[in-house]
Chains A and B, each alone.
Chain A
């Protein structure tokens, strides 16, 4: 399993004024099978986003002609709900909050690893077109009931700590997609700082011990250089 596989193709619009970064991003997205269009400034980006049918917008915060936040704000005012991920050199907590308040759906400070960006974009895209929130998540023979908080693998009932439950819930909600350590820290623990140690890995290995240990087919996979993914076997 490597990063280069994808089963549902996305149409992306990258609004970024730095030509080299934009070309690199477009190339990297195309390499994993997505379609990526480029816009070099805010005005161009706005008209392309407005007219084209994109799955996700990747928008740089600081753009010539029209600021990234204003692009998103204008789109939202027009009723365009295309998920937008903001890229920004301003990485502080307040800037993130400002970005999300302006209508952005996710925020990634520069510099970032492409694996992180890809994982976030794929999660956003699924949110856009994906099925409605289900009550029961199923991956292989693993089942998680979000209402009764019950988790079972096959016929065996599993006992999870509350935090382990939320961790598994998040992973299963995005089954088949890579989720990064930062995404887990943000969405499961609601922290936005960068721990210097491998705290998340330890939580994952505890969870793995509960859901995979003693079963023939592992479901929780480590994706090297990116994060984790829960899915049924290797297709």
Chain B
């Protein structure tokens, strides 16, 4: 598209054209009204003058006869800017007046009419137009009195000229304004288009230019930039996931393949083959679990949380407690729960799973570094409560905890801290919990429980009903 084509297609330019057209129509109708009114006024004035003079001359004719009238007409016709006069005999012979020629038969009529004429002294020039009144005097004499219409035409011409000029000015200024505004908009849009094109070519770190005026284009650019940030985060997340999948699924896949090869090469009897196959199935089950966890994290991180409902965090805490209590006891740990009602909105299943992951971690790593033989079993505490605008679901253990420096890294996918390398697990538990928290616009916090780890899922509480609860029931801090 040419630069001009682009310009005339801008909204600003088109709007300018519409306004221009409207304004021109308005100006034209105003001038038209003015012109028409002027013309009417002049005509009225002529009519009044002519009528007065006709009355005057008719009475003169009645009093002084033909001679007196002829004398009066000749006299008046000589004045500067005189009206038009013509007195003819019943036969049509001109007796007095300053009109030289009329279209034939004009004098036969009577009443008002507009006609072409020539003055006596201007017989050789082009005819003028006049508004005349013809009336019959007694004795068959006819008298014409009229007024040249030049004046009316001249005023009309002035108005028309004014209209032409003002139209021209309006159009030129309007077009100039349209071009100016259009080009200004176009320049900014072109800048945006250039940036988006670079972004589409792969440079996701580019951002749209934002001006300081805060107008609609700036707001649009601001929003687009926010969108770009989100896309960039998602893209880098995706890249990270695929890198991690490549790395962390290849390791067990290689192991799987090695096992199968080894079985083929070494196994002698059916029992050997059977054992090798069983291990293979076990490993592939582990792979599937890892894969499912990864998919679930990816879904949660991309904002697909499934069906959402209102539910009580205390129910989730009690449910998970009930599920894991026997397992904890078998592992030599005492699982406890302290839950007060705290409503939140989201996917109950995902929140339950996130809490389950935290509990599983606590069971795996929650034993103190130095076991004291006949002490009471170390405890793990599941808590659900409301604190201000937050619903907190936390799991506190008294194991070795996570060193401050490692805490942030611990929620990344597949990160298995040195201390946990010997334990089974995919290394996705905390990442999933963190992804679920983020999906619900919350966060996963890891704190020192001196000694041990407190992992807290903090979700925004349900508004409204929650506030009432807050005032009527002061927060409880279970011991």
Interface, chain A (partner B; CB < 8 A): 91-94, 97, 109, 111, 113, 163, 189, 191-199, 202-203, 206, 225
Given A93-B347, A191-B352, A196-B425: A163 in contact with B327 (beta carbons within 8 A): no
Interface membership of B280, Cβ < 8 A:
no
Contacts of B327 in A (CB 8 A): 197-199, 202
Subset of 20 A-B contacts with CB under 8 Å: A91-B292, A91-B295, A92-B295, A93-B306, A93-B347, A94-B307, A189-B323, A191-B319, A192-B349, A193-B349, A193-B352, A195-B360, A197-B363, A197-B364, A198-B327, A202-B326, A203-B323, A203-B326, A206-B326, A225-B281
**CB distance A193 to B356 under 8 Å?**
yes
Residues of chain A within 8 A (CB-CB) of B347 are: 93
Interface residues of chain A: helix, strand, loop or mixed (majority) = loop
Determine the chain B residues whose CB is within 8 A of the CB of A199 once the complex forms. 323-324, 326-327
The reply on B289 being an interface residue by CB < 8 A is yes
Apart from the given pairs A91-B292, A203-B323, A225-B278, 7 other A-B contacts in the complex at a CB distance below 8 Å? A92-B299, A94-B307, A113-B285, A191-B349, A193-B349, A194-B292, A203-B326
Q: Please measure, in the bound complex, the distance between the C-alpha atom of A51 and the C-alpha atom of B79, giving whole angstroms.
A: 121
What are the residues of chain B within 8 A of A202 when measuring CB–CB?
326-327, 330
Contact between A93 and B352 (Cβ–Cβ < 8 Å)?
no
Counting CB contacts under 8 A, is B401 at the interface? no
Asked if A194 meets B323 with Cβ closer than 8 Å, knowing A93-B307, A94-B306, A97-B307, the reply is no
Contact with A along B117-147 (1 / 0, CB 8 A): 0000000000000000000000000000000
For residue B425, which residues in chain A have a CB less than 8 angstroms away from its CB? 196
Across-interface contacts of B292 in A (CB, < 8 A): 91, 109, 194
A194 near B324 with CB under 8 A, answer: no
Q: Which residues of B contact A (CB under 8 A)?
A: 278, 281, 285, 288-289, 292, 295-296, 299, 304, 306-307, 319, 322-324, 326-327, 330, 347, 349-350, 352-353, 356-357, 360, 363-364, 424-426, 429
Q: Is the CB of B360 within 8 A of A197?
A: yes
- Given A196-B426, A198-B327, A92-B322 contact (CB < 8 Å): no
Residue from B281, B307, B326 with most neighbouring chain A CB atoms (10 Å): B326
Greatest chain A CB density within 10 A among B278, B288, B299, B424 is at B288
The A-B contact count (CB < 8 A) is 62
Nearest CB of A to B447, in Å:
23
In the complex, the chain B residue whose C-beta lies closest to that of A193 is B353
Q: How far is it, in angstroms, between the C-alpha of A156 and the C-alpha of B212 when the chains are bound?
A: 84
In the assembled complex, the Cα of A51 lies from the Cα of B356 at a distance in Å of 46
Q: In the complex the two chains form, what is the Cα distance from A206 to B330 in whole Å?
A: 10
Name the B residues within 8 Å of A225 (CB-CB).
278, 281
> Are the CB atoms of A195 and B326 closer together than 8 Å?
no
Contacts of A111 in B (CB 8 A): 288
Which residues of A are found within 8 Å of B324, using beta-carbon distances? 199
Q: How far is the CA of A93 from the CA of B436 in the complex (A)?
A: 14
Q: Is the CB of B322 within 8 A of A163?
A: yes
Among A113, A194, A196, the residue within 8 A (CB) of B429 is: A196
Q: Which residue of B lies closest to A198 (CB)?
A: B327
Give chain B residues whose Cβ lies under 8 Å from the Cβ of A193: 349, 352-353, 356
Bound CA–CA A194/B327 (angstroms): 15
Interface centre among A94, A191, A196, A225 (most CB of B within 10 A): A196
Q: Are A189 and B319 in contact (CB under 8 A)?
A: yes
Bound CA span A206–B292, Å: 29
Closest to A189 in B: B323
**Contact assessment for B306 and A92 in the assembled complex, using a CB-CB cutoff below 8 Å:** yes
Cα–Cα distance between A113 and B424 once the two chains are bound (Å): 21
Q: Which residues of A contact B357 (CB under 8 A)?
A: 196
In the complex, the chain A residue whose C-beta lies closest to that of B361 is A196
Complex Cα distance A28/B398, Å?
Answer: 49
Tell me if B307 and A196 are in contact (CB < 8 A).
no
Expressed in whole angstroms, the Cα–Cα distance for A202 and B322 within the complex equals 12
Q: A111-B288, A202-B330 are contacts. A196–B360 as well, Cβ < 8 Å?
A: yes
